[in-house]
């Protein structure tokens, strides 16, 4: 059956190929989907214009037109340096579906875990980040505050490194996370350090004795 093409149908087909991890450089599409390529050049003038119309960056696609293990690792490290959430679901659905598809091919790494570990990253730590959302972080911050635990960054890095790391990723800084939780960051930072090592009851007795 002859397919009826228009600009939107062409864009949807391009996006479908992209999300399934297929190469979208000109020569690859000429070999895998010639009818699409011909329709794209007829409606848009050039393949590049069609790809850009679909909301994709053709220069980026051309740069990564042929995935290799080294290029996959380089892209993962690039995203990690930008502090992008590299959990499988986020990369596959939002960040770079083509990277996810290429990394999990048997000819490359076979799984996302293997790709991350080949890039020097800890898969289990990255997987934990996906469990954090803003509300969970704020709830835990408030729970720590209610329990009387010091919320300065140094203490929290010892108490719960995953919480403070997730907070910094999602709120840009620990300061902003505390503020979002309705707490006074300045008061927390300047709270008297002599309390450390003493129980709260002991602190009160010391204060009374003075």
Domain boundaries, given as residue ranges, for the chain: 7-63, 69-129, 134-209
- Residue 7 clears pLDDT 90, i.e. is over it: yes
Q: What is the mean pLDDT of residues 182-199?
A: 63
Which tokens hold the place of 105? 């091919």
CA distances to 5, 124, 125, 192 from 22, rounded to whole Å, are: 20, 28, 29, 59
The secondary structure of residue 91, as a DSSP letter, is I
- Could you report the per-residue pLDDT of 21-44, keeping only the tens digit for each? 777 878 778 888 899 999 999 999
- Residue 13 clears pLDDT 90, i.e. is over it: yes
> Measured between alpha carbons, how far is 150 from 119 in angstroms, rounded to an integer?
36
Q: Collapsing DSSP states into helix, strand and coil, what is residue 60?
A: helix
- Residue 129 clears pLDDT 60, i.e. is over it: no
> Measured between alpha carbons, how far is 210 from 202 in angstroms, rounded to an integer?
12
Helices in 57-189 by DSSP H: which ranges? 58-63, 69-81, 88-90, 97-103, 112-118, 123-129, 134-146, 153-159, 161-171, 174-180, 185-189
User: CB atoms < 10 A from the CB of 1, how many?
Assistant: 3
- Residue 87 clears pLDDT 70, i.e. is over it: yes
pLDDT at residue number 59: 74
């Amino acid at each position: 059956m002859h397919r009826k093409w228009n600009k939107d149908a062409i864009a949807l087909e391009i996006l479908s190929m992209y999300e399934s991890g297929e190469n979208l450089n000109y020569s690859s599409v000429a070999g895998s989907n010639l009818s699409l390529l011909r329709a794209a050049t007829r409606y848009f003038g050039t393949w590049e214009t069609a790809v850009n119309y679909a909301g994709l960056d053709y220069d980026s696609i051309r740069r990564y037109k042929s995935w290799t293990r080294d290029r996959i690792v380089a892209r993962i490290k690039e995203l990690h340096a930008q502090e992008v959430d590299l959990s499988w679901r986020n990369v596959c659905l939002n960040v770079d579906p083509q990277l996810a598809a290429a990394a999990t091919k048997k000819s490359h790494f076979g799984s996302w875990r293997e790709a991350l570990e080949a890039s020097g990253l800890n898969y289990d730590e990255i997987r934990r980040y996906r469990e954090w959302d803003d509300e969970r972080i704020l709830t835990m911050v408030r729970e720590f505050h209610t329990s009387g635990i010091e919320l300065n960054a140094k203490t929290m890095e010892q108490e719960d490194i995953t919480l403070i790391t997730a907070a910094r990723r999602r709120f840009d800084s620990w300061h902003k996370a505390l503020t979002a939780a309705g707490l006074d960051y300045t008061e927390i930072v300047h709270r008297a350090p002599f309390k450390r090592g003493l129980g709260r009851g002991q602190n009160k007795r010391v204060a009374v004795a003075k």
